[in-house]
């Protein structure tokens, strides 16, 4: 990868965690914050940590931000967030992921043309709600237009020993099985003859309105698929 594939602006708890995870996964990360103390701490982890007021376009230009592939704006202050995103758009940065603090903030950023806007608290709340509802660990990532990626562990014995063709998941649930992780191995892409095993970690894509039903299919010991 080219140097500085990613830049995180704003080193609060959210921005610090995002930058840390990108770094752990091998991403080349630049971090920016106007607080020298935060940058001093970040410099111990990231090769490029810059003190800069990203709300000032001239200061932002000096960081070399135009050469970065993806910029994550993790600033909580709404006015600052809007200004930074406006600067990034003016500088021609195309791939921007911005944190919003509420739906109004999100709507403003989307209106400005920011392609990806997240409200972390809502996304976390959604995941916790699903985990509480089904008493399991579920990872859910909203990908827009009412669709999500979902990752769940199979514990429904009734769906075992049946092929994907027999279960007919796509037609009955409007769900596409993308990948199955099994004991350290990845089945990608799964075929019509693929069968589930207990403990399989399944990644699938479906419409948000279908998530409840398909999760019951994977984690509840019911004959859901026979009733459809």
Weakest mean pLDDT among 11-20, 30-39, 117-126, 173-182: 117-126
Residues 200-225 have a mean pLDDT of 79
Q: How many CB atoms lie within 10 A of CB 97?
A: 17
At residue 221, the pLDDT reads 52
Cα torsion for 99, 104, 110, 112, to the nearest 10°?
-100
Nearest CA among 63, 34, 30 for reference residue 51: 34
Residue 131 has pLDDT above 80, yes or no: no
What's the rounded Cα separation, in Å, for the pair 35 and 12?
A: 10
pLDDT value at residue 227: 45
pLDDT at 139: 80
Report residue 133's pLDDT band, with 50, 70 and 90 as the boundaries.
low
- pLDDT score of 228 more than 60: no
Identify any residues that bridge with 99 across adjacent strands, giving them in sequence order: 118
**pLDDT given for residue 126 in this prediction:** 74
Q: pLDDT at residue 172 above 60?
A: yes
Tokens coding 215: 């999760």
Tell me whether strands 176-182 and 201-207 are parallel, antiparallel or unpaired. Answer: antiparallel
Closest CA to 81 of 49, 62, 65, 104: 104
Q: Of 82, 84, 100, give the one whose Cα is nearest residue 33.
A: 84
The angle subtended at Cα 82 by Cα 78 and Cα 45, nearest 5°, is 80
CB 65 within 8 A of CB 6: no
The backbone torsions φ and ψ at residue 55, rounded to the nearest 5 degrees and listed phi first, read -75, -15
pTM above 0.85, yes or no: no
pLDDT of res. 43:
95
Q: Is 24 left (phi over 0), alpha (psi -120 to 50) or beta?
A: alpha
Q: Please tell me the predicted confidence (pLDDT) of residue 222.
A: 45
Whether pLDDT at 13 is above 80: yes
> How does residue 138 score in pLDDT terms, banded at 50, 70 and 90?
confident
Answer yes or no: is pLDDT of 132 > 90: no
């Amino acid at each position: 990868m080219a140097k500085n594939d990613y830049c995180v602006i704003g080193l609060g708890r959210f921005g610090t965690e995002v930058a840390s995870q990108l770094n752990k996964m091998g991403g080349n990360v630049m971090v920016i914050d106007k607080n020298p103390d935060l940058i001093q701490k970040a410099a111990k982890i990231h090769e490029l940590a810059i003190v800069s007021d990203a709300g000032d376009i001239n200061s932002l230009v000096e960081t070399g931000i135009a050469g970065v592939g993806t910029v994550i704006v993790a600033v909580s202050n709404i006015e600052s967030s809007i200004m930074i995103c406006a600067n990034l758009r003016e500088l021609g940065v195309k791939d921007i992921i911005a944190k919003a603090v509420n739906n109004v903030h999100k709507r403003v950023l989307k209106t400005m043309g920011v392609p990806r806007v997240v409200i972390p608290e809502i996304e976390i709340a959604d995941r916790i709600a699903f985990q509480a509802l089904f008493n399991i660990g579920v990872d859910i990532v909203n990908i827009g237009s009412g669709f999500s990626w979902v990752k769940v562990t199979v514990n429904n014995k009734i769906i075992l020993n049946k092929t994907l063709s027999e279960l007919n998941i796509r037609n009955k649930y409007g769900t596409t099985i993308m990948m199955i992780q099994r004991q350290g191995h990845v089945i990608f892409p799964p075929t019509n003859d693929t069968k589930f095993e207990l403990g399989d970690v399944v990644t699938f894509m479906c419409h948000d309105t279908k998530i409840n039903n398909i999760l019951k299919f994977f984690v509840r010991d019911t004959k859901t698929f026979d009733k459809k």
